[in-house]
Every structure is written in C-alpha cells, then in structure tokens.
Structure 1
C-alpha cells in the first residue's frame, strides 16, 4: 500500500480497494474530481491524538485577569459574609490561590469569560488585584447551571432559602424539574417545597432577609403560610432594608415576629377569681366558694365553721327537698 494510503488509513476510513475488472481507458484514466473537505478526524490514530489534546487542554490551567471575567449562570448567594470574605482574602494573600476556578468562554464577546463556579475566590482575587488561576471549558447554558448547582451542593454551604431561590431562577430560565433536581441533587418533593416558599414569599423580602443560615426549612415554610394569607411584602422589605445593623438571622427573626403578630405571642393566663366568702347569721365566716366553669367548690375551715360542715352533710337531703318546694316542684 502506498504511503499516502497508510496515512489515509490512520486518519479515517481505509482507502477503497482497486477493482480488478476495470480497465484503464482514456475516460477512466482521467483524474477523479476532488472529494469535499472532510471534517476534523475523529477516527483512527489521528482522532485519538486529537481527543487527547482536547482533554489535556480542558484540564490545563491559565491565568486570567479578573477584569475580563463576568458573572455567569444563576445567582446562588443572597449575601456575602464580610468576615468570611476578609478571611478568604487573607488566605489568598498569604498562600496564593491553591484551587482553580472554572470559567467558560463568553459566547457573545471574544476574549471574555463567564464564571461557572468560584465567584467568591474571583471577588477576593479582584480585590487583591491578583490574577485568577482557572480552567476554561466550552459549555452550554444547560451544562453551566448543572455544574454550578452540583458544585454548590458538594460544598453544602448554601442555605435552604438560597437553594430555593436558585431553583426558582432555574425554573424561570426554562429548565424542567428533572434538570433542577439533578443540579441540586434533591428529589422532586423537596424541590416542590422550595419552589412553594420562593413563589409565596416576595423576592424583595427574601433579598432583604438574606441567607439566614439558622432558619431551616420548617420556619421558612411557616413564614410562607403568613404570606399565603395575602400579607403585603413591600412594607416589610422596606423596613428590613434599614436593619443594616442586624445579622441575616436576626432579620429573619424580626420578619417572622412581625408577620406572626398576636398569633404567636403566648396568651396571658386568665386572672384567678377571688373565692366568695360564705357567712352565717352572726357574720362569721362559714366557708369559701369558688366557681370554675360548670364546677363549684365549697371549702370549709374547721377553725371557722365549728362543725357546720358535718351538720350540712347530714341534712343536705332535707335542704334540697325544701329548695325543690320553693320552686313548686
């Protein structure tokens, strides 16, 4: 086989075998028309080498200026913790960036990138005016949000309401429930509860409260019940915005208390009624009577009654008979 046929076999399909029946004539000896351009080789040795190069390229690290990196995907965090950001900046300044971020090429603008994950690291490096070590991959919008959701879930540091807000944004972007479940590694039942909270509580209130890490799913569901009763969210959100001195958890508690109102306040115990003092003909105390609902209790003190309670018990039948006669019975 000729050398060019060997190379042709390595690059793709094997060359056609010559037809021994064909005779060379003036017509069939003419050179064949050139074949249309082939796509990039995916078979044979050349294809394997191309694939290996592509895989190495996807794992290669590059340094990128933070100024050419833009947000991408879906907003995941409702609020950045300033103290945590300061700690991250101090660590990056002391030890450098040890873990790369993941970027994709901006599909609209040449030479710019979008964040897949690593937002906090990029923000800290931007503040420090340090370059960003990153892996760059070509990804669709679908693959971007799946990777972003799975990376957030693997860290397990997003709160319930941040995941609920993430799920809401994915649904509004047109992703179905299965994709949302895959992105957050959560089953459909939990996703339904998250979306019910994100749909019922106004987004302005959610943003004003923030991540509220100490407020779990049950308390957010309870808050959603208040809004389900057509509570207005705008005044509450406006009030919370001016609570800058409060932490996110404290803002949640303030909002919860404001919404619950008297329904959640413990009711004051009813005042105990003073017993009625029963006296004899000489105005001496004989007993004390207390009514509670349908019950009446008469209490005798032997030091005061001088044995009257015994006489009363012995003559109770006759007293009752006289009472009936007075009623005409």
Structure 2
C-alpha cells in the first residue's frame, strides 16, 4: 500500500493539533500571516491597494509544512513509495522547484489548507524544511476547481481516482458542469464514472486503490457484476487480502474481478421463511407515451430505471435539476 496512510496523515496531521505552533525545527518567521484582502476603494488609492493585493497573491512564501491541513477533495487513493522517495531525494538535492498552493484556513488563524502539492508537503515534512507556497484567498468552489485542474494537468489520475473525485464533488453538492470543468471531461464520462462508484462501496474502492492500469471498461464490468449480486464489503476485502497478500492495486483489482466472476450458486430458499411480496412497477413514459423505463416503489425506496438508449441524455438533465425540482416541491408544501 506504499505511503498510503501518510496521505491521510496530511489530511489529518496528528503532530499538529488545531492550536499547535509551527514545527520547532523551523523558525517562527516561516509561518507568515495570511495575506489580507485589499478593501475596495475608488481612485488612485484603490488602484494601489489592488496592485499590492495582486503582488501578495503572486508572492512565494516559505511556511512551516506542519501548519498545512486538509483542503478540497481527496484526489489520490494511494501513493507510490518509490515515487515519494525519489521526490524527497530530488528536493533534498536541488530544492523545491515548484511552489504549492494553499489558502488561509477559514477557521484557524495562522494555519492553511492545501489546494495542491500534498506530496511536496509530505516530502518537506520528512526533510524538516519549509514549504515554498503561494497563498491565495479562495472560496470552497474555487479551491476544488483549482485542485481538479491542477491534478488533471500535472498527473494522469487513474479512472477510479477521477471517479472518486467526481463522487466527492457530487456528495458536496456540485453540479455536473462544475465536475466536468474540474476534471476537464464531458458529462457522458462523468455519468459512467459515477455509475461505477455508486455501485461499489467506497471502502472497497479505497481498499483496491488507484489501479493505474485499469481503465473504464473493466471498472464498469466489475460494477455490473457487484451490483448483480451485492457482497459484504468487509468480507470481500478479507478474501482479497488473502488472495494477493499485500500486492499492488492492479493485482487487488484483478483479484476482485476474478472473485466476482466465479460461478454464482444462490443459497436455497428457506421454505419456512415468509415470502416478501415483490414491489409493483409502473412504466415511466414521455408525454407522447414513449416508454423510457420503469419505476418500482417499496416501503423503503423508489427506484427509477431509465433506458439510456431511449432517454438520450434526459437522465443527465434530470440529475442536474433534481435540487431545483426538490426546492420547487418544498415550495408547494410551504416549506
């Protein structure tokens, strides 16, 4: 699993609590106060103030790496120990050539949230050196956009890492356009990514890891197989651990695919167990009567299945507008 746990250490740095001081190995001057946003003003004074604010935004500061905390989404499912060691060796020999990007922590004075550059922060923590960083005032939306675009440009994330990033953005309330902009891909690709991560448990995906050589088609196949006969995630992880014995993520994926491809022998029904009546279905049709799919309602859920060959993108339109539709529905109730 390499230094996988060290990445989570950056997300929740144990040695530095909410009120912790900078690392004692670094001078206090290495943790400058976040740049203040210039107050809007008119005329020459306003222009000078804006110029000063722009210069501060472009200035490269040296800050204590232990003052940097989590920010944005988790874009990497694992790390490569050899790559991390090579990065640390290169920084030790030649110095940090490319600055990271952080923003002032919105809740903790004197601390920062990472936008991009996690691996450089980890390497510099290990080396006991300050981090060269650009410090910019970014809201949550701008942070995620910058993080997604930087990682897409600098490192070819695997399919499942991009899918996991898209899922986190969806859970955080971002619409499809924002996700497409962050990952520089179209809505069709986003829909396929989400169809994988919504059918395979998140803890199982994290257990598999980045699987860099596994593309979209094989992940879709595994998602189809997993959804057709759901498994207990913890049991599957235990079995895969025995099959690959700590091997790389590509091997963990291959083991999962092999496990799901095994012949399925359903457990014989218990004749004494009461039968649960199957929930009725109703067709989903267009205004012209064309059948788009079907809906099934039970005591605990409503499942709508659309035929994508017939819906022709309506599913994306519907998913994008569900928050607005729900808001309008609440208005009809007076909520």
Q: TM-score, normalised by structure 2?
A: 0.65
Contact 1:101 1:118 in 2 (8 A): yes
1:278-320 deviations in Å (ceiling 9; x for gaps): xxxxxxxxxxxxxxxxxxxxxxxxxxxxxxxxxxxxxxxxxxx
Give the aligned partner of residue 321 of structure 1.
none
Contact 1:103 1:115 in 2 (8 A): yes
Task: Decide whether aligned partners of structure 1 residues 79 and 244 sit closer, same or farther in structure 2, where only a CA change above 3 A counts.
Answer: farther
Contact 1:117 1:148 in 2 (8 A): yes
Provide the C-alpha distance between the structure 2 equivalents of 1:121 and 1:156, rounded to a whole number of angstroms.
14
Contact 1:201 1:227 in 2 (8 A): yes
1:88-120 deviations in Å (ceiling 9; x for gaps): 010010001000000000000000000000001
Superposed displacement of residue 241, structure 1:
4.3
Provide the C-alpha distance between the structure 1 equivalents of 2:171 and 2:178, rounded to a whole number of angstroms.
13
Provide the C-alpha distance between the structure 1 equivalents of 2:148 and 2:238, rounded to a whole number of angstroms.
30
1:58 partnered with 2:53: no
Superposed displacement of residue 167, structure 1:
0.5
1:121-144 deviations in Å (ceiling 9; x for gaps): 101111111110000011111111
Q: Kindly report the root-mean-square deviation, in angstroms, between the aligned alpha carbons of the 2 structures.
A: 1.5
Provide the C-alpha distance between the structure 1 equivalents of 2:260 and 2:166, rounded to a whole number of angstroms.
25
Task: Decide whether aligned partners of structure 1 residues 64 and 240 sit closer, same or farther in structure 2, where only a CA change above 3 A counts.
Answer: farther
1:189 partnered with 2:188: yes
**1:194-273 correspondence runs (5 A):** 194-232=193-231, 233-241=233-241, 243-262=244-263
Gaps of 5+ in 2: 1-37, 265-335
**1:29-178 correspondence runs (5 A):** 40-178=39-177
Contact 1:116 1:147 in 2 (8 A): yes
**1:280-319 correspondence runs (5 A):** none
Provide the C-alpha distance between the structure 1 equivalents of 2:158 and 2:114, rounded to a whole number of angstroms.
21
Contact 1:105 1:111 in 2 (8 A): yes
Superposed displacement of residue 176, structure 1:
1.0
Superposed displacement of residue 262, structure 1:
4.1
Task: Decide whether aligned partners of structure 1 residues 63 and 211 sit closer, same or farther in structure 2, where only a CA change above 3 A counts.
Answer: same
Size of the aligned set, in residue pairs, is 225
Q: TM-score, normalised by structure 1?
A: 0.66
Gaps of 5+ in 1: 1-38, 264-329
